Structure 1
Amino acid sequence: MVRTLITPSTQVGLSTSPGKPRALPGEAFVPERATPRAPAARPRRKGLRHPLSLPVLLFAMTLGLILLHQGRLVEYFFPLGAFGVALVLYWRSPAHYIGFVCWLFFLTPEVRRLADFVNGSFNQQSPIMVATLLAVSLTGLTLLKHVSLLGQRRAAPLVLIVIALLYAFVVGMAQVGPAAATFTLINWLYPVMVAFYLTVTWRHYPDYHRVLLKTFIYGGLLMSLYGLLEFVSPMPWDAFWLISSKMLSEGQPVPFGMRVSSTMNSCGPFAVTLMTILLMSLAARGKARIVLGCVGVPVLLLTSARSTWGGFAIALVYSFVMLDGKSRRRLMAGVLGLAVVAAPLMMIDQVAEPVLQRLSTIQDLGKDDSYQARAEFYKSFMSSALTDIAGQGLGTTGLGSKLSDDTASQARLNFDSGLMEVPFVMGWPGTLLYTTGIVMLLWRAYRASRQHPTDLLAVSGVGVAVAIFSMMVFINTLTAVSGMFFFLGVTLPVISLRYARERHGAVAAAPARF
């Protein structure tokens, strides 16, 4: 009988499953489901045999009701059904729960358009739009169950951010009332709660790696293809929505006349979502990723969202610097390949005209109305935003101001600077806490990705966070769906490193086999 010595070099090959080594710091990360016998393995819950069956059934039944012209029924069935599906996935499969939340953000606005179209009337306050908030609100249960985690160092940045939000909420209640302040608090808070949920369920990171990549790849393909169709030949329900909503900035409901918003509310949120998907897809493999890049990049250009173009470029530069040599070559080859594919499209006048027109405004800012308005905004609000010590509170800016009786707050609906909105809303105390928490999250995510550089999803996540944060110059991107992607980006690298270290420690502590 020969004893097998366990040395650092042989530990790399150890695994709880024969032939499937686990990822350790310094190794390439290969997501794999942990076995129950593995030391410190993720706790196994009674999972769903087919976790995708419930979401597919929900969307299929919703489509069936729309085909039957039961739009009013859809307004109540869809949010209640989405909450029910989210509740089951929340208890049974954390990764599929987060994936389902992403799908709701992707598709809920399109469900609302279809329901309004078959109803023949535009519902300004459609209950369908509550579906995403109902689903994501379940992360609040995690806070109640794991409130003791708030006292640990790993939760310190999130605690600082939450304290800042609660401070601004109290001030907002006094300024504009509970309705406006509460609505705004929800949009600022739920991205933070998603990050807390990921922090608690870090042992499921391999599932997050697998499920989120599939969600981004297939969700991005669906939305990109639909976006192309929307640009070339708008669907009747899309034209009906654009006319009824009176969103003049989205273009005209004619072929080659709309700024692409695909299945989402407007071109801005869709552009940030598609940018996130394209950056996260750098960690994927297979032909679907290539197809997504070929379709998604032209669609991103057709959104005409210049701030997102800039964020995407910053993230690509960051990823190029941080990736290893092989991944760097793959990225360069992908960028060159996309340029070759996109070149013929730019020769079509209807496609090239809106893109070139937006690019020309970057070169000649003096004739750019948007830039001039933003520059004037900075001049008028700079002093008030930086000298108001207490702040105006949540609900005085953004969509929540519509619920306020304060006419001045309603006039500040479009606050064209996230960097100015934070001090304006939170004052000096809240701004200090909020910015400290955000900077801590970014720094911690960067360090984690550097210590575990072979996990490409972690590196891509930091790139997404850097891109979204850089866009704060133009608009507040740390709230709502863009904020959720930011907090996903800064949390995934941290739980990836923690999972890898836990597995490494478990393997090192495993008894020798004889």
Structure 2
Amino acid sequence: MKVRYYPYSLPPATKGIQISDARLTRIILVSFILLTAAGMLILPGRMRLAYPGLSFLVGAYLYFRNPTLYLGFTWWIWFLTPWVRRMIDWRAGWAEPNTTLLAPFLVTSITFFTFARYLNKFDRPYNFPFYLSGFGVFYGILIGFVSNGQNAVILAALNWFVPIFFGLHIAVGWRDYPKYRQMIQNTFLWGTVITGVYGIIQYLVAPAWDRFWLQNVFELGNTSFGRPEPFQIRVFSTLNSPGPFAIMIMAGVLMLTSLRWKGVLFSIIGYLNVLLTAVRAAWGGWILGILVVFAASKPRMRKRMTISFIVLVTCIVVIATIEPFSSIILNRVETLGDIQGDGSYQARVAEYLKILDASLFEFVGNGLGYEKDGLRVGFDSGILDLFVLLGWVGTLPYLGGLLIMLISLPKFVERHFDAVAVASLAISLSVFSQVILGNVFIGINGVFLWGFLGLLICAYRYYSHPSIAAFQLTEVE
């Protein structure tokens, strides 16, 4: 008797009315979308709890029954949840903190089961970096429980841990890499188009729900998003702020380099949004990413990339020099040549000089959830956050796990060309390069960093398998 093994899913039912997994999955996803839309219109206040709960249930079903679709669903929840929150607040009134924003953390935290399942295999070279960095976060949790409040530590732990869980989950699914690759390509193609188009509409029109949200953000003292008026907003599209959206759209346009001319066409939307966010760190990250893709590509692809890059730059320069786009873009570009007169730059330098000396002597660290004078401590630097919160004891293993992957994985790209793997390497390095100017280890930024590192390991293990390595590898489109 032949026994089937279901590594990610439960055995199919054998009695009663049979519904195929594909059909049931479509029913569940359509129902989720309709319930969310109806809830935002009819009972918006209750959706602050219902939306995270529904998201978690759908995510749990997909995790066990359709791991590939689970990846796409998780990315879309990260992309769209801040917009859902704004729609709910617009209808039901401002609420801060807002439980709606727990949805992506809950959906991604399901990958804790993968983390626990492979715990007895932590010493394997592919898994070890994730568990090494996870140890650094776990250390920060222990110190936080001793020094800080329990609730603060739990919320901070979600921010720090779920990206690592997600990255490991992708890495260990290497047998399904071709499916993962296609899902990631499709997700970021349509993610770039949809969020990019909305970002342009947001800049030109300033929808009522975005204006309402910005006005309340201003009352909390944050004026860095521009003004709640057309042509005055620093674009954040469906995300929560310009910084995360800039990283998301940067990742999108880098992933589109794996799609030939179709990717070039849709990249115009993405590049315009990168400029409209006015996040200079993302501009630098994008340049680094393009250089990585160019260096890792085959010679015949470099010619195509050069032509497409010239076309893209020409289109973007033309668009950026005409109103209504030129005012925000050119003003921000001019600050690149006047660093000494840049207030943002000067503020960061002052913060570094004030904190760096003290943080370098933080051997034990203050733990996750650290508060000072009643305010949650957080800096515009992932490095400062690591030393202040985790100390040397937690920072060394955390950075050690990351650096092991960032140093070793480019060698794989040199031997086995895969356009999506190359784009993943470019995205990972681009996000990490912004660590001095922002905390790229937590939340959606961390999901991009760890998620694409996990996809790189997934590709590496797939192509290293004897049954795959026996064939001559060709360019994957």
State the shift of 1:456 in Å.
0.7
1:239-258 deviations in whole A, cap 9, x for unaligned? Answer: 11111122311111111000
**SS of the residue 1:49 aligns to:** helix
Find out whether 1:266 has 2:241 as its counterpart.
Answer: yes
1:339-370 deviations in whole A, cap 9, x for unaligned? Answer: 22223322323311111111111211111111
2:16 maps to: none
Distance of aligned partners of 1:498 and 1:184 in 2 relative to their CA distance in 1, 3 Å threshold: same
Aligned pairs (5 A) from 1:231-242: 231-242=203-214
State the shift of 1:43 in Å.
8.6
Aligned pairs (5 A) from 1:128-143: 128-143=100-115
Find out whether 1:407 has 2:381 as its counterpart.
Answer: no
2:195 maps to: 223
1:468-511 deviations in whole A, cap 9, x for unaligned? Answer: 11101111112111111111222222221221232636968xxx
Pick aligned residue for 1:301 from 275, 278, 286: 275
Gaps of 5+ in 2: 13-19, 472-477
1:433-485 deviations in whole A, cap 9, x for unaligned? Answer: 112111101123212222212x1111111111111111011111121111111
AA partner of residue 407 (structure 1): D
Pick aligned residue for 2:434 from 456, 462, 471: 471
AA partner of residue 64 (structure 1): A
Distance in 2 between the 1:451 and 1:484 partners? 26
Identity %: 28
Q: 2:231, 2:324 within 8 Å by CA — same for their partners in 1?
A: yes
Q: 1:55, 1:100 within 8 Å by CA — same for their partners in 2?
A: no
Q: 1:320, 1:328 within 8 Å by CA — same for their partners in 2?
A: yes
Q: 2:133, 2:397 within 8 Å by CA — same for their partners in 1?
A: yes
Pick aligned residue for 1:282 from 257, 274, 296: 257
1:480 maps to: 443
Distance in 2 between the 1:88 and 1:259 partners? 37
Q: 1:94, 1:204 within 8 Å by CA — same for their partners in 2?
A: no
Q: 1:221, 1:296 within 8 Å by CA — same for their partners in 2?
A: yes
Pick aligned residue for 1:383 from 353, 357, 376: 357
AA partner of residue 206 (structure 1): P
Q: Which has the larger displacement, 418-427 or 267-276?
A: 418-427
2:15 maps to: none
Distance in 1 between the 2:261 and 2:179 partners? 18
1:253 maps to: 228
1:170 maps to: 142
Find out whether 1:114 has 2:87 as its counterpart.
Answer: yes
Find out whether 1:449 has 2:413 as its counterpart.
Answer: yes
2:380 maps to: 416
Q: CA RMSD in A?
A: 2.2
AA partner of residue 422 (structure 2): V
1:68-119 deviations in whole A, cap 9, x for unaligned? Answer: x321232232212111111111011112101101000011111111111112
**SS of the residue 1:284 aligns to:** helix
2:421 maps to: 458
State the shift of 1:213 in Å.
0.7
AA partner of residue 460 (structure 2): L
**SS of the residue 2:211 aligns to:** helix
Distance in 2 between the 1:407 and 1:296 partners? 41
Q: TM-score, normalised by structure 1?
A: 0.84
Distance in 2 between the 1:432 and 1:384 partners? 17
Distance in 2 between the 1:86 and 1:439 partners? 30
State the shift of 1:407 in Å.
0.8
Q: 1:448, 1:494 within 8 Å by CA — same for their partners in 2?
A: no
Distance in 2 between the 1:122 and 1:225 partners? 26
Q: TM-score, normalised by structure 2?
A: 0.90
1:7 maps to: none
Find out whether 1:356 has 2:330 as its counterpart.
Answer: yes
2:151 maps to: 179
1:403-442 deviations in whole A, cap 9, x for unaligned? Answer: xxx41654x44x0222222122221221221121111011
Distance in 2 between the 1:439 and 1:458 partners? 18
**SS of the residue 1:132 aligns to:** helix
State the shift of 1:286 in Å.
5.7
1:120-156 deviations in whole A, cap 9, x for unaligned? Answer: x101122211111111111011223332221323211
Distance in 2 between the 1:344 and 1:196 partners? 42
Pick aligned residue for 2:313 from 333, 336, 339: 339
Q: Which has the larger displacement, 422-431 or 45-54?
A: 45-54
State the shift of 1:209 in Å.
0.5
Distance in 2 between the 1:43 and 1:179 partners? 32
Distance in 2 between the 1:440 and 1:53 partners? 42
**SS of the residue 1:365 aligns to:** coil
Where do 4+ consecutive residues of structure 1 move more than 4 Å? 40-47, 50-53, 505-508
2:40 maps to: 66
1:428 maps to: 392
Distance in 2 between the 1:141 and 1:216 partners? 26
Distance of aligned partners of 1:443 and 1:129 in 2 relative to their CA distance in 1, 3 Å threshold: same
Q: Which has the larger displacement, 491-500 or 434-443?
A: 491-500
Q: 1:42, 1:204 within 8 Å by CA — same for their partners in 2?
A: no
Rg comparison, structure with higher value: 1
Distance in 2 between the 1:283 and 1:244 partners? 40
Q: 1:444, 1:494 within 8 Å by CA — same for their partners in 2?
A: no
Q: 2:21, 2:65 within 8 Å by CA — same for their partners in 1?
A: yes
Q: 1:41, 1:203 within 8 Å by CA — same for their partners in 2?
A: no
1:489 maps to: 452
Distance in 2 between the 1:278 and 1:41 partners? 36
Distance of aligned partners of 1:223 and 1:470 in 2 relative to their CA distance in 1, 3 Å threshold: same
Aligned pairs (5 A) from 1:317-336: 317-336=291-310
Count of aligned residue pairs for this structure pair: 456
2:475 maps to: none
Distance in 2 between the 1:354 and 1:146 partners? 48
Q: 1:311, 1:470 within 8 Å by CA — same for their partners in 2?
A: yes
Gaps of 5+ in 1: 1-35, 509-514
1:243 maps to: 215
Q: 2:236, 2:242 within 8 Å by CA — same for their partners in 1?
A: yes
